[in-house]
Amino acid sequence: MQGNEILRVDDPAPGVRRFTLNRPEKRNALDNALRGALFAGLQTADRDESVRVSIVRGAGACFSSGYDLGSDLARRQPYFTAQGDGSWSRHVTEGWLGIWDLAKPVIAQVHGYAMAGGSELAAACDLVYVAEDAKIGYPVVRLVSPPDMQFFPWFVGMRQAMELMLTGDSITGVEAARLGFANRAFPTAELEKQVLEIAQRVAKIPPDLQQLNKRSVHRAMEIMGLRAALRAGTEIQALGFHQRSAREYFQQLMSGPLTKALDARDASFGDYRTAERKEGDASRPTRSEAQPSEGRERERVASAKARQRREES
């Protein structure tokens, strides 16, 4: 096992490189350091002649519960993005499309939560295999903004995308496979074995041909407008922070109590953190888009407001 503290790297089979998001105590929340390490690792694998396919998975209870809202996401970003309104959504969408543009296939192995930014990471991968009881969703749409990378219409179709966007509801792994977000769903105990077997089948094809196979599918999607739509979506996302409802929600987060603000998002729906509290689910995500800690959430809101002032100046 190689890598560093936040990203473990191993080669579980010939031609297969595996990356494990290693922040289980934070439900693998995506801060800039973790995103940077993952991008650098995938790019290294893309240049490594011994690697033919990569797997991305999460340590602990879930794949990823979203962006690390407790960190200052405006600082030490892993690559440059032009400033101005919507710079964050443009920044992360550019990063996820960087996975799309790699020559070698990348597989997402999803268990537990894949929320908000975590779902964007999974969506950016070429193949997605999920545990049957995984939960995939974007609750942020309820009181903040549309997604940073607006992939839903492309992967699940207009009607289901509309329902997910208008409710913020999650879908299970079984539903994700049925709707087209994921390739297949497996029982949690079988997921790792099944993904590794599929990766080994993918690795049988020479990389010089495989890059063309991958690109042919992507080019077709791009001709239909996927890349342009994702970039246009970043501008719509930026408008969310200017809406009265979002501003009022930020004020509620800043003035506390935090639990009241978070309940305002989910209580009437009876899901996410409110459902988990009733069920006593110890695996619920923390310090992330799904359920940040109080102090770190206040820091995040202050950071978001500072970032917005910089963008507007």
Longest CA pairwise span in the chain (Å): 57
CATH number at residue 183: 3.90.226.10
The DSSP result for 281-309, as a single string, is -TT---SSSSS--HHHHHHHHHHHHHHHH
Higher pLDDT, 27 or 278: 27
3-state secondary structure of 57: strand
Q: Bridge partners of 136?
A: 114, 171
DSSP symbol at 30: B
The answer to whether 39 touches 31, Cβ cutoff 8 Å, is no
Q: Could you report the per-residue pLDDT of 183-199, keeping only the tens digit for each?
A: 999 999 999 999 999 99
Predicted pLDDT at 204: 98
pLDDT at 84 over 80: yes
pLDDT at 225 over 70: yes
Closest CA relative to residue 104, chosen from 219, 212, 1: 212
Q: Could you report the per-residue pLDDT of 9-68, keeping only the tens digit for each?
A: 999 999 999 999 999 999 999 999 999 999 999 999 999 999 999 999 999 999 999 999
DSSP symbol at 31: -
Q: Give helix 258-266 / helix 294-312 axis angle, nearest 10°.
A: 80
Distance CA(123)–CA(113), nearest Å, equals 14
- Token pair for residue 260? 């009241």
Residue span of the structural domain in which 223 resides? 1-313
Average pLDDT of 264-289? 61
What is the phi/psi pair of residue 90, to 5°? -65, -40
Distance CA(247)–CA(24), nearest Å, equals 31
Q: Give helix 258-266 / helix 272-279 axis angle, nearest 10°.
A: 100
Q: Give the CA angle between residues 190, 191, 194 to the nearest 5°.
A: 85
- Token pair for residue 179? 């709707």
Q: Give helix 226-240 / helix 207-223 axis angle, nearest 10°.
A: 60
How, if at all, do strands 135-137 and 171-172 pair? antiparallel
Reported as a pLDDT band with limits 50, 70 and 90, residue 286 is very low
- Token pair for residue 258? 């935090």
Q: Bridge partners of 63?
A: none
- Token pair for residue 288? 């992330």
What is the phi/psi pair of residue 258, to 5°? -60, -40
Domain count, the chain: 1
3-state secondary structure of 126: coil
How, if at all, do strands 53-58 and 16-21 pair? parallel
- Cis peptide preceding 207, ω within 30 of 0: no
The answer to whether 92 touches 38, Cβ cutoff 8 Å, is no
The answer to whether 102 touches 117, Cβ cutoff 8 Å, is no
pLDDT at 249 over 90: no
